[in-house]
Amino acid sequence: MKIVVCVKRVPDINSDRRIEGGRVVRGPEDVLNELDENAVEAAVSLAEQVGGTVTALTMGPPAAVDALRRALQMGADDAVLVSDERLAGSDVVATARVLGAAITRLGDVDAVVTGMATMDGLTSMLPDALAAVLSLPALTLAASVECDGRTLRVTRTLGDAVETWATDLPALLSVTDQANQPRIPNFRTMTAARRKPVATWGLDDLGLDAVDLRPAVALLDARRRPLRREGVIVTDTGDGGRRLAAWLAEKGVV
């Protein structure tokens, strides 16, 4: 079974993030997208259960190789970095087309695995867009995954409903952070990851034209969210309800 897991290097959610020129500034504090750790765990677990290999795939600047290294430490067998200056500022549609071309070049892929979202854009659109590009059935937001090498079965928890879906391979799978507990690499796996191959491809290698990948959307404005002011604590001495109602009326809420 040949599995491709898509990952992304994103700004640390706890870092001081900023936007310049309509783009999120990347820096040394960038990390593997937290939700992609669940995707890597799902891919590696599938390969361990039914036999096969896992290729980690990402698109980004040269420094994005760090995300691939982390995936390799977690058990991926090899990795591919798609890096080209002409891809800077790509939106989700362009990203899906590029990743789709890379997966097609890898050939004979049985399963494509992604996380449910990335912590920078948070569009949650890539899994479906990538499935459309590859013309694959998509089982998304999986909270649990089963596979026998021919059929993929997932359980989705949506509000009060629990759904079970299944499809024949090849297929695309996206998992939530409830699907598994990502493994923590040990010293041996971290050392072994250094010897695993990482290929770097550009647009020309994929036969794509940058003109056709121009973003369809653009960031027009970004501002810091105003700091929350300290709340007012009301000690209830028997008239707390009336004081709360008066405060809401003063604010025009009621």
81 within some domain: yes
pLDDT digits (tens, 9 = 90+) for 60-108: 999 999 999 999 999 999 999 999 999 988 889 999 999 999 999 999 9
Mean pLDDT, rounded, for 203-212: 91
245 within some domain: no
235 within some domain: no
Q: Provide the β-strand partners of residue 23.
A: 20
249 within some domain: no
Categorise residue 112: left if φ over 0, alpha if ψ from -120 to 50, beta otherwise.
beta
Confidence of residue 192 (pLDDT cuts 50, 70, 90): very high
φ, ψ of residue 60 to 5 degrees: the values are 165, -170
Q: Is 113 a residue whose pLDDT tops 80?
A: yes
Residue 2: predicted pLDDT: 97
Which has the higher per-residue pLDDT, 90 or 217? 90
Which residue range forms the structural domain that includes residue 53? 2-213
Residue 149, domain CATH: 3.40.50.620
Residue 3's alpha-carbon distances to 33, 94, 149, in angstroms, are 19, 22, 11
40 within some domain: yes
Contact 4, 111 (CB under 8 A): yes
Q: Is 164 a residue whose pLDDT tops 80?
A: yes
pLDDT digits (tens, 9 = 90+) for 234-247: 778 888 888 888 88
**Residues contacting residue 137 through CB under 8 Å, at least 6 positions apart:** 131, 167, 168, 171, 172
Question: Percent of the chain, pLDDT > 70?
Answer: 93
Q: Is 17 a residue whose pLDDT tops 70?
A: no
C-alpha dihedral sign at 178, 29, 12, 139: negative
C-alpha dihedral sign at 250, 251, 252, 254: negative
Q: Is 27 a residue whose pLDDT tops 70?
A: no
227 within some domain: no
Q: Give the end-to-end CA distance of the chain in Å, rounded to a whole number.
A: 61
Mean pLDDT, rounded, for 36-55: 96
80 within some domain: yes
240 within some domain: no
Residue 158: predicted pLDDT: 85
**b (16+ CB within 10 A) / e for 2-35:** bbbbbbbbbbeeeeebeeeeeebebeeebbbbbb
Mean of the per-residue pLDDT values for the chain?
89
Residue 90: predicted pLDDT: 87
Residue 160: predicted pLDDT: 87
Q: How far apart are CA 68 and CA 82, in angstroms?
A: 11
Tokens 């991926």 identify what position?
76
Q: Which of 14-18, 178-182, 212-216, 228-232 has the highest mean pLDDT?
A: 178-182
DSSP 8-state assignment for residue 149 = S
Confidence of residue 26 (pLDDT cuts 50, 70, 90): low
Q: How many domains does the chain have?
A: 1
